[in-house]
Structure 1
Amino acid sequence: MRVFLAILAICLSSAAHADGGLFSMQSREDGRMWEAVGRLELAGNAFCTGALIAPDLVLTAAHCLYDSASGAPVAVEDIQFLAGWRSGRASAYRRVRRAMAHPDYDFDAPASADRVGRDIALIELQLPIRNTTITPFQTGPHPRRGAEVSVVSYAHDRSEAPSLQGLCNVLDRQKRAFVLSCQVDFGSSGSPVFSFEGGTPRIVSVISAKADAKGMPVSLGAELDTSLATLRAAMSVDSVRETVSAGMRRETGAKFIRP
C-alpha cells in the first residue's frame, strides 16, 4: 500500500470536542486507566502527546523535540509533561531533566518510512511520578498486519481532554513504519498505540504522522521493538558519560596551598 506522508505539525491548544470514532474522556472516571497518557507542553506555544513507560520516562515522537519552524531543538527547560491533563488540570506536573531522540533520527530528512520508523524519543523527568492513580504502561512486540489496536491522544480540536480511538487496524507495514486506520490530527504526534492482546493494554507503536492512502486518511506509527532498545541503550551510555564527566570535574579541581 503506497501512502503519501504528511508529517504531523505541533499545534496550539483549542477547545476539545468529541469526534466521530473517538471517545472523549472528559471525566476522571472515564480516563481512570489512562492517566499515564499526558500532554507535552513545548515552549509554551505547542504540544504533543506522550505516555509514561516508567515512573520517570515518557515515550513520544522524536520530531516533538524540535521547533517545527526553525528545526532547532526545544530546550529541556521549556518542556513540561502534564499527566492525565483534563479541563485545565493534570494529575501530575513534571519538568524535564533531559530528552533524547532516536540516535538515527534526522529531523531534516525527507518524509519516508525510514524517518517514521525512527521517530521516537524518550524524555526523562526531573522527578519520577509515584502516584497510585498513574501507572506507567508496558511496551509490547510490534503488531501484525490486520491486528486491532487503539490510540489515546490529544489534538488541536480536542486539546483539553484525552480521546480514546475505538478499535482500528494495522493496514500495512513499510520497513519500520506501520500504516494504521486510526484517526489522528495535529497534536497527536507521540500518541501511544495500544494492543489489547492478553487483556492488558501495551504500547506497540508511537504516532508519527498522518498520511493518505488511495484517498483514505491513515496514520503512521513507528516500530518500537528494535528502535526503543537502541534508544534506551543510547540513553544509558549518555547517562554513564554524564556521570563520569561530573566525577572528573569534581576530582580535578585545582587546590591552592599557601607556602
Structure 2
Amino acid sequence: MRQFFLAAMMALASALPALAQSDLVTLQTRQASTGWEAVGRLDIAGKGFCTAALIRERLILTAAHCLYDHDGALITADRFSFRAGLRDGRAAATRNVLRAVGHPGYIHQGDTTDAAAVAMDIAVLELDRPIIEHRLQPYPIADRPLAGDEVGVVSYGQGREDAPSLQEVCTVLGRQTGVIVLTCDVDFGSSGSPVFTMRGGAPQIASVVSAMALVDGRKVALGTSLEGPLHVLLAHFADAPARPGGGQRLITHGARNDIGAKFITVD
C-alpha cells in the first residue's frame, strides 16, 4: 500500500461533514466469512502480499502496482499465488497464476504516485485452474459509486495478514480525475482490496484500493473508478496471448462474471 498526499482533494473532503466509520472486524470464523470467501491474499514471493478478489472462475482483480517489484521490474507470473478466503493458515482455495496483465495506461512510479496513476491502477491475473465452489462465487462489477454512498471493504493488511478484515460501512467522499476518495481504513497489504456496494442484498465490486492519502490531516483511501478503466483492461487482456487450451471470455459490466457473456463497452 502506497502513501499518497493529494492536496487537490482537500477542498473536496473539507466541504463534507465528519463521517463515521465502522470498526474493522476480523473474519475469523466460517460463519463471519460467508459471502467474502472469494476475497483472498495475493502472495508475491520475495516481496510480500496484496489483496485480490475473484471476478471470474479463473480471473482475479487487484491493483496494477502489485505487479511490480521493489526495483520497478515486472514480477513474473510464477511468483504469485492466490489464497482465497485465507484465515489462520487455511485457504478455501489456492491457485497459482499463469499470467498477470495490468491496465495498458498504468505507468508505474515506484513508491510515489499521482492521480493519473491511481485512476489506472488495476490488473487482472489468470489462475492456473478455475475456482468452482458454491461458496466462492465471482463478484459482479457495480456501477461507479457516488459521493455520500456507503460502501464496504474486505482487505488483508500489515498486522492483520492472517485473516481478512471487513469494514462494513465507510463512505465515498467524492471522485476526481478518475480517483474515488473513501473513508475506508486501509494499510500496507491492502492494495488491490475490493470496495463493495450492496445490490439486491449481494456484494458487487465498485472500486479497487490503490493508495493511502492524507487529506486535510485525515487518513483516507484512494480507489480506482472501474467504470471506464476496467473496460479497457479487459479488452487488453482479451487481446493478449491466450492461455493454452482456449481463448478468453469477456464479461459484461454489472453482470455475473461466471457466465462468460460478451463484454460490451458502454461509454
| TM-score, scaled to structure 1 | 0.84
| TM-score, scaled to structure 2 | 0.81
Q: Percent of aligned positions with the same letter in both sequences?
A: 46
Task: Check conservation: 1:65, 1:74, Cα contact below 8 A.
Answer: yes
Match of 1:139 in 2: 141
Match of 2:129 in 1: 127
Secondary structure of the corresponding residue to residue 182 of structure 1: coil
Match of 1:101 in 2: 102
Match of 1:13 in 2: none
Provide the aligned C-alpha RMSD in A.
2.0
Deviation at 1:172, TM superposition (A): 1.5
Match of 1:84 in 2: 85
Deviation at 1:239, TM superposition (A): 3.2
Runs of 4+ in 1 over 4 A off after TM superposition: 240-244
Match of 2:196 in 1: 194
CA gap 1:216/1:52 in 2 versus in 1, 3 angstroms: same
Deviation at 1:243, TM superposition (A): 8.7
CA gap 1:70/1:131 in 2 versus in 1, 3 angstroms: same
Whichever residue aligns with residue 170 of structure 1, its letter is V
Secondary structure of the corresponding residue to residue 115 of structure 1: helix
Match of 1:185 in 2: 187
Q: 2-side partners of 1:210 and 1:155: how far apart?
A: 12
Task: Check conservation: 1:3, 1:214, Cα contact below 8 A.
Answer: no
Deviation at 1:240, TM superposition (A): 5.5
Is residue 210 of structure 2 the alignment partner of residue 208 of structure 1? yes
Q: How many residues align?
A: 228
Unaligned runs of 5+ in 1: 6-19, 245-259
Q: 1-side partners of 2:166 and 2:53: how far apart?
A: 14
Task: Check conservation: 1:43, 1:74, Cα contact below 8 A.
Answer: no
Whichever residue aligns with residue 155 of structure 1, its letter is G
Structure with the greater alpha carbon radius of gyration: 1
CA gap 1:33/1:213 in 2 versus in 1, 3 angstroms: same
Unaligned runs of 5+ in 2: 8-21, 247-267
Q: 2-side partners of 1:142 and 1:24: how far apart?
A: 27
CA gap 1:177/1:242 in 2 versus in 1, 3 angstroms: farther
Task: Check conservation: 1:98, 1:124, Cα contact below 8 A.
Answer: yes
Once structures 1 and 2 are overlaid, which stretch shifts more, 152-161 or 38-47? 38-47
Match of 2:16 in 1: none
